[in-house]
Structure formats: structure tokens, C-alpha cells
């Protein structure tokens, strides 16, 4: 039973991890931009959910729409106005740019919200359900369900819509896409905005699970990196598999090696993967 409970915990954690990484992976894979802002975007989404709940009583699952839209607009403006100017430059250049923007946004949030931890407390918390001795934390289950829905939505969008196909085209071959009449700068901005939207939505869902503070952005960013490398860059299924793999590995790592070394196991597997399969579990050659 213990093993089953830990598997369940790992899967739930993995679902949340996948949501952290999916937007980050999309931006990295399509634009070749390592978006250091991603963790801060998530925290901003959490603050939007927190204040929407505090002042208007909006449930964080409903405020996913608000935080997603706000972050979508913010992401679009940042990419179209700033990052697009250097998007063709080597990756180190865009990395430095997003690093700088992250310092700005994160410190602005520190000034606006202070570093104090806040926590959104639901008055009508769903509690837990005991399924033949297996404890299901229902808020988390619902959060992961919503996360899966959002991720599936993004997956369908990329596959079925014109704009999605244009994004995939840019990811595969930027020059050919330009020649085919795709307005690459606009696609860049939409892609970055979609990445930010996913981060904002993740933030809303996380607001019921994690304490909220600008200091936490680094934690989310760190996880996003690991998941992307585990799962493979640029694809939605890659981020899903990477996130779930990390969640399950960490949970069993904590059981067998102690919580102190739960991440040790994850990193050992990561290094092994980098040596033997640098594209990640789901990645394709050429996008490593």
C-alpha cells in the first residue's frame, strides 16, 4: 500500500511538474530562447489568483482564465517589443536578456508584494478521499486534472489550428517557414505568449498548493530545466513525460534514499540520459 500511495503521490506531483515545464519547453524548442522569466511568470500567476480570491472570492481554478489572459498579453508584449529584436542572435544573448528582464520583474514583485510568504486558503477545501486505504488529496487531484486539460488544449491547438501549425513549422525550419509566407515575428510573439499563458495558469493552480513568494521563482525554473532535458525539448508530450517521470523518481527517491536525496536520484538519471540519449525521452534529433 505504501508503494502504491507513493506512486500516486509521484504521479500527482508529476502532473504539476509537467505544467511547470510545458510552456518553458515550447518557448525553448520553438524560439530557441531559454526563458529565465518563466519561474517569475508562474509566481505572478499565483499572485493574480491570490488577489482575485482575496478581493473577489474567485476560485483559483476559475482565475486560471484571468491569470492566463494577463500573462498571455504580458508575454506577447515582451516578445514582440523586446526579445524579437535579438531573437536571431546566439542563445547566450537571449538568455542574458531574459535573465535581465527576470531581475526586473522579480524585484518589482518583491517591492510590490514583499518577500513574505502568503498562502491562498480555500474555505471550501475538497479535503481528502480514502479509497481502500489509498489517500487521494482532492484539491491536488482536481489541480492535476485541470493541468492535464490545459496541456491537452495546447497540444490540440498546436496540431489542429493554423497558428499551431505555423508554430510547428517555425520550430522545424525557420527559413523555410518564412519562405512559405509565415510571419515569423508574429508567430514568435504568439509562442512566447502561449508559454507565458501556461505559466500563469500553472501559477493559479499552484496557489492552493504552495506558499506564494517571489523568492520561489528559482525553484520553479530549476524544475522546468530538469523536466525539459528529461522529456525532450519543444514537444508537449515530452514535457508531460518528463514531468511525470521526475515526480515519480523523486517520490521513490525520497522513499529509498531518504528525502534528503530525493533529487539526487533524479539528477543521476538526468546525467545518464545526457550521456546516452541527449535528446531526452521524447525528443527528436536536431532539437537537443
Do 31 and 188 contact (CB within 8 A), yes or no?
Answer: yes
Q: Is 149 helix (H, G, I), strand (E, B) or coil?
A: helix
- Nearer to another protein (CB atom), residue 259 or residue 278: 259
In the window 90-129, what residues touch another protein (CB under 8 A)?
Answer: 115-119, 121, 128
In this chain, which stretch among 58-66, 67-75, 97-105, 214-222 interacts with another protein, using CB under 8 A? 214-222
d(CA 109, CA 44): 8
- Based on the shown chain and the rule CB under 8 A, indicate whether residue 211 belongs to the binding site for another protein: yes
- Smallest distance, Å, CB 199 to another protein? 16
- Nearer to another protein (CB atom), residue 135 or residue 149: 135
Other Cβ atoms within 10 Å of 267 Cβ, number: 13
- Based on the shown chain and the rule CB under 8 A, indicate whether residue 36 belongs to the binding site for another protein: no
- Based on the shown chain and the rule CB under 8 A, indicate whether residue 137 belongs to the binding site for another protein: yes
In this chain, which stretch among 60-68, 90-98, 183-191, 259-267 interacts with another protein, using CB under 8 A? 259-267
d(CA 30, CA 182): 14
Q: What does the block give as the cell for 248?
A: 515519480
Name which of 14, 161, 74, 181 is nearest 22 in CA terms.
14
Do 217 and 20 contact (CB within 8 A), yes or no?
Answer: no
Instruction: Report the residue from 28, 192, 210, 287 that binds another protein according to the rule CB under 8 A.
Output: 210
Q: Compute the CA torsion angle 85, 87, 93, 94 (nearest 10 deg).
A: 100
Residues in contact with another protein by CB under 8 A are 2, 5-6, 9, 13, 115-119, 121, 128, 130, 135, 137, 139-140, 209-211, 213, 215-216, 219, 222-223, 247, 250-252, 254-255, 258-263
Amino acid at each position: 500500500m505504501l508503494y502504491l500511495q507513493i506512486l500516486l503521490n509521484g504521479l500527482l506531483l508529476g502532473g504539476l511538474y509537467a505544467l511547470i515545464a510545458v510552456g518553458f519547453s515550447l518557448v525553448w524548442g520553438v524560439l530557441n530562447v531559454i526563458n529565465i522569466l518563466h519561474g517569475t511568470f508562474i509566481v505572478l500567476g499565483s499572485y493574480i489568483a491570490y488577489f482575485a480570491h482575496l478581493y473577489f472570492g474567485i476560485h483559483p481554478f476559475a482565475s486560471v482564465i484571468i491569470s492566463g489572459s494577463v500573462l498571455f498579453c504580458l508575454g506577447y508584449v515582451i516578445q514582440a517589443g523586446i526579445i524579437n529584436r535579438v531573437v536571431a542572435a546566439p542563445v547566450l544573448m537571449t538568455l542574458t536578456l531574459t535573465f535581465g528582464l527576470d531581475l526586473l520583474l522579480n524585484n518589482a514583485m518583491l517591492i510590490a508584494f514583499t518577500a513574505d510568504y502568503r498562502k491562498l486558503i480555500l474555505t471550501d477545501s475538497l479535503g481528502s478521499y480514502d479509497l481502500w486505504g489509498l489517500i487521494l488529496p482532492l484539491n491536488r487531484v482536481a489541480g492535476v486534472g485541470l493541468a492535464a486539460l490545459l496541456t491537452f488544449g495546447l497540444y490540440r491547438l498546436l496540431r489542429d489550428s493554423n497558428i499551431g501549425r505555423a508554430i510547428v513549422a517555425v520550430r522545424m525550419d525557420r527559413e523555410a517557414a518564412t519562405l512559405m509566407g509565415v510571419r515569423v515575428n508574429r508567430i514568435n510573439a504568439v509562442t512566447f505568449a502561449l508559454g507565458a499563458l501556461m505559466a500563469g495558469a500553472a501559477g493559479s493552480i499552484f496557489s492552493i498548493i504552495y506558499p506564494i513568494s517571489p523568492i520561489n521563482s528559482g525553484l520553479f525554473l530549476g524544475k522546468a530545466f530538469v523536466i525539459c532535458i528529461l522529456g525532450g525539448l519543444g514537444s508537449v508530450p515530452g514535457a508531460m513525460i518528463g514531468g511525470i517521470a521526475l515526480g515519480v523518481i523523486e517520490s521513490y527517491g525520497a522513499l529509498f534514499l531518504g528525502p534528503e536525496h530525493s533529487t539526487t536520484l533524479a539528477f543521476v538519471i538526468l546525467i545518464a540520459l545526457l550521456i546516452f540519449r541527449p535528446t531526452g525521452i521524447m525528443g527528436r534529433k536536431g532539437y537537443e
